[in-house]
């Protein structure tokens, strides 16, 4: 038993480091995708002085800490976004390993884990880009859909796949995205963007209809909390349109873990079982 706990913790630590490294790449996507810059070519640079960064400037988490949150070359402040995204991605990978993939030693290292890793990373990128630029790159919802296909592939391999299991995901694909599509049609695209529709279609396929419905309600609550909190703390309201994508992405990530249990618990209060 002690050996298994140690092995699980050891693998979890490796997964966190791996997630932090991928998180560094996510920061590249967050910076380059909105401006149409090729993320596959060129060295990382300081956004302020455009100096090419050395490997020691790019070590996940630690470089930001050791540099005191400032560029080594121009001393301009480095956004806290960088270590936050790296740590958040590492934590999301570990949580996926433990709670979504039955992480116990080597047990949780499966195709499903790879799928959820892709999903979690894409949701993080969506949150940051949509909050800053009010766009959701097509590459991100496609990545989420690919992650969902890997989850389905794992279910086929392990025998978890069933008729009701896949029907839940097919319904989930349309459950929220269909509602958003209708809202977009009625409002002429003013109240709902195409990016939100495609995002929730992909998320619904990954989570299933129960969890994606909870994600919709949770995202609304998160949006209200953010708006009220910002007004109370910053003493001002956000100007212009508040992007819904970040709250959808955050709620979707949370509901990957607790969405379906919350849905079932709510129905059980009324003795309804689905």
- For residues 38-59, give the mean pLDDT: 77
Residue 219 placed within a domain: yes
What pLDDT does residue 239 have? 59
pLDDT above 90 (res 156): yes
What pLDDT does residue 49 have? 84
Residue 125 placed within a domain: no
- List pLDDT tens digits, range 61-110: 888 888 888 988 898 898 999 999 999 999 999 999 999 998 888 989 99
- Domain containing residue 56: 1-109
Tell me, yes or no, whether 94 and 221 share the same domain.
Answer: no
Candidates 73, 86, 69; CA nearest to 45 is 73
Tell me, yes or no, whether 160 and 88 share the same domain.
Answer: no
| Mean pLDDT over each residue of the chain, to the nearest integer | 91
Phi and psi at residue 230, in whole multiples of 5°? -65, -40
pLDDT above 60 (res 237): no
What pLDDT does residue 155 have? 96
Tell me, yes or no, whether 259 and 165 share the same domain.
Answer: yes
Candidates 144, 141, 123, 133; CA nearest to 254 is 123
Residue 239 placed within a domain: yes
Tell me, yes or no, whether 157 and 67 share the same domain.
Answer: no
Q: How many CB atoms lie within 10 A of CB 235?
A: 7
Q: CA 29 to CA 25: how far, in whole Å?
A: 7
- List pLDDT tens digits, range 160-208: 999 999 999 999 999 999 999 999 999 887 878 899 999 999 999 999 9
Residue 115 placed within a domain: no
What pLDDT does residue 236 have? 59
Specify whether the CB–CB gap between 171 and 164 falls below 8 A.
Answer: no
Domain boundary among 60, 91, 109: 109
Tell me, yes or no, whether 35 and 84 share the same domain.
Answer: yes
Q: Looking at per-residue confidence, does 190 or 27 come out higher?
A: 27
Tell me, yes or no, whether 149 and 254 share the same domain.
Answer: yes
Q: Which two tokens stand for residue 196?
A: 């939100």
Tell me, yes or no, whether 171 and 254 share the same domain.
Answer: yes
Buried b (16+ CB within 10 A) or exposed e, 152-170: bbbbeeeeeeeeeeeebbe
Residue 120 placed within a domain: no
Residue 51 placed within a domain: yes
Residue 129 placed within a domain: no
Angle subtended at Cα 70 by Cα 69 and Cα 75, rounded to the nearest 5 degrees? 165
**pLDDT class of 241 with cuts at 50, 70, 90:** low
Percent over 90 (pLDDT), the chain: 67
Q: CA 127 to CA 144: how far, in whole Å?
A: 13
Within the chain, how many helices (H) and strands (E) appear? 9, 0
Q: CA 22 to CA 46: how far, in whole Å?
A: 19
Who's near 27: CB < 8 A, 6+ residues apart?
Answer: 81, 82, 85, 86
Residue 18 placed within a domain: yes
What pLDDT does residue 238 have? 55
- In this structure, of 6-10, 55-59, 131-135, 252-256, the range with the lowest mean pLDDT score is 55-59
Angle subtended at Cα 269 by Cα 266 and Cα 274, rounded to the nearest 5 degrees? 65
If one counts the domains in the chain, the total is: 2
What pLDDT does residue 132 have? 93
Tell me, yes or no, whether 150 and 100 share the same domain.
Answer: no
Tell me, yes or no, whether 144 and 271 share the same domain.
Answer: yes
Residues pairing with 70 in the sheet: 77
Tell me, yes or no, whether 159 and 36 share the same domain.
Answer: no
């Amino acid at each position: 038993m002690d050996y298994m706990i140690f092995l699980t913790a050891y693998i979890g630590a490796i997964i966190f480091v791996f997630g932090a490294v991928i998180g560094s790449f996510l920061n590249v996507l967050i910076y380059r995708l909105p401006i149409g810059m090729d993320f596959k070519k060129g060295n990382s640079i300081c956004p302020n002085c455009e100096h090419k960064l050395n490997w020691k400037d790019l070590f996940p988490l630690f470089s930001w800490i050791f540099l005191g949150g400032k560029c080594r070359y121009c001393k301009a402040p480095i956004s806290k976004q960088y270590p936050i995204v790296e740590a958040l991605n590492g934590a999301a990978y570990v949580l996926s390993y433990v709670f979504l993939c039955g992480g116990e030693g080597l047990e949780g290292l499966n195709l499903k884990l790879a799928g959820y890793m892709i999903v979690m990373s894409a949701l993080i990128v969506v949150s940051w880009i949509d909050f800053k630029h009010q766009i959701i790159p097509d590459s991100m919802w496609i990545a989420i859909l690919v992650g969902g296909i890997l989850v389905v592939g794992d279910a086929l391999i392990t025998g978890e796949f069933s008729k009701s299991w896949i029907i839940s995901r097919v319904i989930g694909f349309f459950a929220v995205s269909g509602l958003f599509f209708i809202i977009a049609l009625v409002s002429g695209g003013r109240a709902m963007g195409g990016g939100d529709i495609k995002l929730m279609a992909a998320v619904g396929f990954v989570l299933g209809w129960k969890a994606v419905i909870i994600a919709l309600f949770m995202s609304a609550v998160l949006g209200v909390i953010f708006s009220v909190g910002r007004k109370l703390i910053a003493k001002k309201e956000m100007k212009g349109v508040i992007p819904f994508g970040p709250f959808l992405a955050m709620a979707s990530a949370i509901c990957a873990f607790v969405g379906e249990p919350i849905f079932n618990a709510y129905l059980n209060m009324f003795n309804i079982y689905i």
